[in-house]
Amino acid sequence: MEKKVFGRPKSLVDVKSHFCPGCHHGIAHRILAETIDHFGLREKTVGVACVGCAVFLYDYIDVDVAEAPHGRAPAVATGVKRAQPDKFVFTYQGDGDLAAIGTSEVIHAANRGENITVLFVNNTTYGMTGGQMAPTTMLGQKTSTSPYGRDFRKDGYPIKMAELLATLEGTAYSARVATSTPGQIRKAKEAVKKAFEMQMKEMGFSIVEFLSTCPTNWGMKPLDAQKRVLGEMSEYFPLGVYKERKQADFL
């Protein structure tokens, strides 16, 4: 007798992906949907989509979704969670959104220990607006607004959000993962599960940063983009768990 061992997660809508070839949003979406299914949360989840490529979350994930202004998703999620503490609330944000315009909202949501989960997709550029410099853009990386390569003397340094947010008392879990190899994808899924658990146990703010690709704006073939993530990107943005609160850690 045949046994189905692999299929589409229930929470992933069966539509054609509009993302560019080689983009990792689809992988992150699948991990998200699988984790929602794993915990049986589909009917009690409210997602918050942000601005940029990530906004189309609501086309792919089969849950209720609110749309936030650029960078404000953690504040919108705060409003949802405070109104409905029994719901599972997550945001899905890009690096331009979370690490530039939305730094205030994410830092304060984390510092309040807001019981929300943030999935943060870092591809070192602004994707939807056409590949401009992001706060996470690597030194020397050429973008449409850093045509000579990012220069720290003029443009500052790439910001490390997973490390930064881990320093805050209200953060229960902060990890950086990648999705460029099957092994990394497995670890990424474990991290997302952990982040979900933090919220379900009301332990505070949780964030998982995904190192991701943007072959279109990087001007790379998808496989070369994978190599960049495995190489220079994970060198500057090391993978790992930066904070994991235990129940006993509470003040």
Q: 132 near 126, Cβ under 8 Å?
A: yes
CB of 209 to other proteins, least distance (A): 21
**One-letter amino acid of 192:** V
CB of 135 to other proteins, least distance (A): 18
Interface with other proteins, residue 80, by CB under 8 A: yes
Strands (E), 98-140: 117-122, 125-126, 132-133
Between residues 37 and 155, which has the closer beta carbon with respect to other proteins?
Answer: 37
Residues from 87 through 116 that contact other proteins (CB under 8 A): 87-88, 104-105, 108
Between residues 88 and 205, which has the closer beta carbon with respect to other proteins?
Answer: 88
Residues from 18 through 57 that contact other proteins (CB under 8 A): 42-46, 48-49, 55
Secondary-structure percent of the chain, ordered helix, strand, coil, rounded to 5? 40, 20, 40
Between residues 38 and 87, which has the closer beta carbon with respect to other proteins?
Answer: 87
The stretches of the chain forming alpha helices (DSSP H) are: 25-38, 57-60, 73-83, 95-96, 103-111, 152-155, 161-166, 182-200, 215-218, 222-228, 234-236
Q: What is the DSSP string of 177-201?
A: EE-SSHHHHHHHHHHHHHHHHHHHT
Between residues 89 and 225, which has the closer beta carbon with respect to other proteins?
Answer: 89
CB of 242 to other proteins, least distance (A): 22
Selected from 26, 79, 149, 222, the binder of other proteins by CB under 8 A is 79
Contacting residues toward other proteins, per CB under 8 A: 42-46, 48-49, 55, 58, 62-69, 72, 75-84, 87-88, 104-105, 108
